[in-house]
């Protein structure tokens, strides 16, 4: 049976779920989205994701034609229609179809669609043994150009940094900001452990403040671990005792090498493992 996609209030077969080639989400990357996980039949951090979607839309003057409650109900409807219990959800709002020309005033109404599918960002052995990553030459967008809090459809600079990772034969790349400080990876937030303290780039770095990032910070606090949201340099990464990434798709994945520098002992560290296990317990408990 073909999976069903929710689009503008209707459930359509995957092959029939289409948007206009005049949609400004396609033509100009004018839109916002959320990636959300479902574990054991429950949507994880649903309210936080939906609120961020609404806030992102408001920031770019995009009026979503549904309330948060209606969007949540549409997500649940799509999951039920596809008989999903463990899935990845992509909720997208575009500016909608308009004319050739950048003006958003020419768009008639936003397009909203929901995809539910499965996802595996990285192979299982990377969660067990850790991954190698690099730092990219492509920097994160300047925060005065586009607020990093907006989860927009325009990921071109992240994609170019991802190409650098692919060319280097690794799955991820760290992106720096315009000042040369560590910001985030192409699709994940980054943490290090140094002398027992968990450190991650502050919001002011220009990173997208991830939902999973905040969950991990909360779990660390519950476990009595000291957490610092601060400026980090490449030197801090290279000399860290441990390093790991967080994201909705990635969850919590350890890093054991950056730019060919071995991190710590070159294996999954105790703090990383503790937080991975705490995260897995949380999503199992719902």
- Same domain for 159 and 84: no
Predicted confidence at residue 16, as pLDDT, reads 94
- Same domain for 101 and 11: yes
Where in the sequence numbering do the catalytic residues fall? 151
- Same domain for 149 and 106: no
Looking up residue 241, the CATH number of its domain turns out to be 3.20.10.10
Task: Point out the domain boundary residue: 91, 117, 143.
Answer: 117
- Same domain for 38 and 129: no
- What's the number of domains the chain is made of? 2
Predicted confidence at residue 286, as pLDDT, reads 58
| CA dist., res. 72 & res. 66, Å (int) | 10
- Same domain for 186 and 146: yes
- Same domain for 44 and 144: no
Quickly list DSSP for the chain.
---EEEETTEEEEGGG----TTBHHHHH--EEEEEEEEETTEETTHHHHHHHHHHHHHHTT---SS-HHHHHHHHHHHHHHTT-SSEEEEEEEE--B--SSS-GGG--S-EEEEEEE---SS-HHHHHH-EEEEE-SSPPPPTTTS-TT--BS--HHHHHHHHHHHHHT-SEEEEE-TTS-EEEESSSEEEEEETTEEEEE-GGGT----HHHHHHHHHHHHTT--EEEE---HHHHHT-SEEEEEETTTEEEEEEEETTEEPTTSS--HHHHHHHHHHHHHHHH-
- Same domain for 136 and 112: no
Domain enclosing residue 131, as ranges: 124-285
- Same domain for 69 and 191: no
- Same domain for 262 and 132: yes
Predicted confidence at residue 265, as pLDDT, reads 95
- Same domain for 149 and 259: yes
Predicted confidence at residue 285, as pLDDT, reads 76
- Same domain for 77 and 133: no
What string of pLDDT tens digits covers the 286 residues of the chain? 468 999 999 999 999 999 999 999 999 999 999 999 999 999 999 999 999 999 999 999 999 999 999 999 999 999 999 999 999 999 999 999 999 999 999 998 999 999 999 888 899 999 999 999 999 999 998 888 889 999 999 999 999 999 999 999 999 999 999 999 999 999 999 999 999 999 999 999 998 889 999 999 999 999 999 999 999 999 999 999 999 999 999 999 999 999 999 999 999 999 999 999 999 999 987 5
Task: Point out the domain boundary residue: 67, 91, 117.
Answer: 117
Predicted confidence at residue 121, as pLDDT, reads 84
- Same domain for 269 and 247: yes
Looking up residue 92, the CATH number of its domain turns out to be 3.30.470.10
* pTM for the full predicted model: 0.94
Task: Point out the domain boundary residue: 66, 90, 117.
Answer: 117
Burial class (CB in 10 A: 0-12, 13-18, 19+), 169: exposed
């Amino acid at each position: 049976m073909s999976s069903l996609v929710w689009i503008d209030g209707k459930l359509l077969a995957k092959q029939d779920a289409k948007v206009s080639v005049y949609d400004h989400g396609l033509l100009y990357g004018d839109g916002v989205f959320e990636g959300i996980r479902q574990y054991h039949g429950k949507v994880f951090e649903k309210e936080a994701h939906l609120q961020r979607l609404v806030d992102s839309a408001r920031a770019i003057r995009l009026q979503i034609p549904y309330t948060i409650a209606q969007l949540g109900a549409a997500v649940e409807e799509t999951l039920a229609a596809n008989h999903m219990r463990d899935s990845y959800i992509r909720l997208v709002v575009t500016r909608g179809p308009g004319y050739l020309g950048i003006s958003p005033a020419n768009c008639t109404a936003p397009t909203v669609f929901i995809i539910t599918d499965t996802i595996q960002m990285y192979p299982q052995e990377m969660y067990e043994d850790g991954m190698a990553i690099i730092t990219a030459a492509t920097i994160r967008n300047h925060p005065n150009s586009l607020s990093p809090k907006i989860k927009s459809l325009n990921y071109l600079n992240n994609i170019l940094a991802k190409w650098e990772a692919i060319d280097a034969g690794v799955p991820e790349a760290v992106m720096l900001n315009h000042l040369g400080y560590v910001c985030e990876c192409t699709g994940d937030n980054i943490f290090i452990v140094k002398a027992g303290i968990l450190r991650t780039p502050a919001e002011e770095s220009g990173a997208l403040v991830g939902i999973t990032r905040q969950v991990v910070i909360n779990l660390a606090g519950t476990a009595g671990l000291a957490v610092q949201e601060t400026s980090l340099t490449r030197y801090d990464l290279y000399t860290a005792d441990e390093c790991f990434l967080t994201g909705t798709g990635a969850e919590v994945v350890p890093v054991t090498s950056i730019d060919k520098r071995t991190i710590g002992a070159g294996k999954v560290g105790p703090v990383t493992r503790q937080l991975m296990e705490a995260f897995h317990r949380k999503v199992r408990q719902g």
